[in-house]
Amino acid sequence: MVVDPWHHPFNGTVVSTRRFVGALTDRFKFHILVAEEAEQRLDEGCVAFPRISIPGVNRIIDRMKAPLAKPHRQQLARVIGDSDLLHVQFPFFLGHSAIAEARRQGKPVVASFHVQPENILNNLHLSSQWLTAVLYKFFVWRFYARADRVIAPSQFAADLLAKAGLQAPVTVLSNGVTEDFFVDRPATKHEPPFHVVSVGRLAAEKQQHQLIEAIAGSRFKQDIEVSLVGTGPEQKRLDEQARLLGVRANIGRVGDETLRRLYKTADLFVQTSAVELEGMSVLEAMAAGCPVLINRASTSAVPEFVSADEATYSMNSVAELTRKLDALLADGKLRDAAGAANRQIAQTRSHQHSVQRLSNIYNQLLNRSDCLDDEYANKS
């Protein structure tokens, strides 16, 4: 399993990978190929590779807490030689070399689609439709087209790969919501104060600054406390923005127990991100029965499962976000009904189901024909 920033467990891809590995350790033995971390004790099963140093880019990598590993061919040859299947989570240097080595050794390859070119370009402060399209085609050419099976976390993600020219088999497989997020909620609160929560990497494409602006313009401004849960390069900027606009904000990382409590007790969950291949944090909030308000962005998969007019706002429209925020906070019955409907939607993306399907995919590629993935077994 190639996942460079394994030791940065707030990264969404890392969170998802850790959950799948944890759920499958009774069926498969994993070698986790990671980027080396100074003074970081390796987790069991991890194989560390030196971190890549790129002048001019290191600062961005450090701020994003997404270290990249430098491939070492002999080390890769040993690890993959001791493995039956390769699963690549990140389409970077280590993943590229690992796929090449697996191909040399005739080992099957699974590649998961977790990184949109928009993620990279936004953090480099670049905006170009032409460059975005080029990067999609590059990822398809160098990574996904060389895999025996590609995993996309949503139909939206699968469609992006198809548009970029991918012809390899693609399975739509949700990251899934684990049972510990399906918690009982307290009775809906109809009067202020209100607590608004947003969860995600604090990065440019996540656009948390729009939520702070919306709360600053809300008629409930004095009665709202917002928690922006995450880490990333935009944290200082968001802290300063909240201070200047007089918005009461808690910004930073929290532990798992605190995160579940926030989902459980929040009056409203807001997701402003412009770039999402599924939207794990939205699904987790929905599992807890929390009403949500999301960005109806054309570059996000979240509108696949959140489509109600009162629960969505137009891309980059802070005025509409403010209006929808106020409407939901003012109507406790609407929030109560939305939360109940959200829980039912989240149940359709069960992590347990996703774990079984991933196990089936591995077994199918390992030629264990009695364990075919249901999607392909039906076609045969």
Q: Which domains are assigned to the chain?
A: 12-176+350-379 (3.40.50.2000), 179-347 (3.40.50.2000)
* Bridge pairing between strands 224-229 and 248-252: parallel
> Can you tell me the distance from the alpha carbon of 375 to that of 380, in angstroms, rounded to the nearest whole number?
9
Specify the pLDDT at position 292.
98
Count of C-beta atoms within a 10 Å radius of residue 256: 10
Lowest mean pLDDT among 175-184, 262-271, 313-322, 366-375: 366-375
Specify the pLDDT at position 78.
97
Specify the pLDDT at position 10.
76
Specify the pLDDT at position 308.
95
The yes-or-no verdict on residue 281 having pLDDT over 50 is yes
Specify the pLDDT at position 146.
96
Specify the pLDDT at position 378.
38
Tokens found for residue 175: 């990251």
Tokens found for residue 17: 């990978």
| Range 358-377 average pLDDT | 73
The yes-or-no verdict on residue 369 having pLDDT over 60 is no
Specify the pLDDT at position 380.
31
User: Helix 208-216 and helix 235-245: axis angle, to 10°?
Assistant: 10
Spatial contact of 48 and 94, defined as CB atoms under 8 Å apart: no
Tokens found for residue 291: 């009403």
| Range 71-80 average pLDDT | 96
- Side chain identity at 85, as an amino acid letter? L
| Range 282-296 average pLDDT | 97
Partners of 112 in the beta sheet?
151
pLDDT in tens, 301-344: 999 999 999 999 999 999 999 999 999 999 999 999 999 999 99
Q: Backbone dihedral region of 221: left (phi > 0), alpha (psi from -120 to 50 degrees) or beta?
A: alpha
Q: Backbone dihedral region of 232: left (phi > 0), alpha (psi from -120 to 50 degrees) or beta?
A: left
Specify the pLDDT at position 62.
67
The yes-or-no verdict on residue 65 having pLDDT over 90 is no
* Bridge pairing between strands 268-271 and 194-199: parallel
Spatial contact of 227 and 290, defined as CB atoms under 8 Å apart: no
Spatial contact of 102 and 79, defined as CB atoms under 8 Å apart: no
Kindly report the pTM of this predicted structure: 0.90
| Range 137-142 average pLDDT | 94
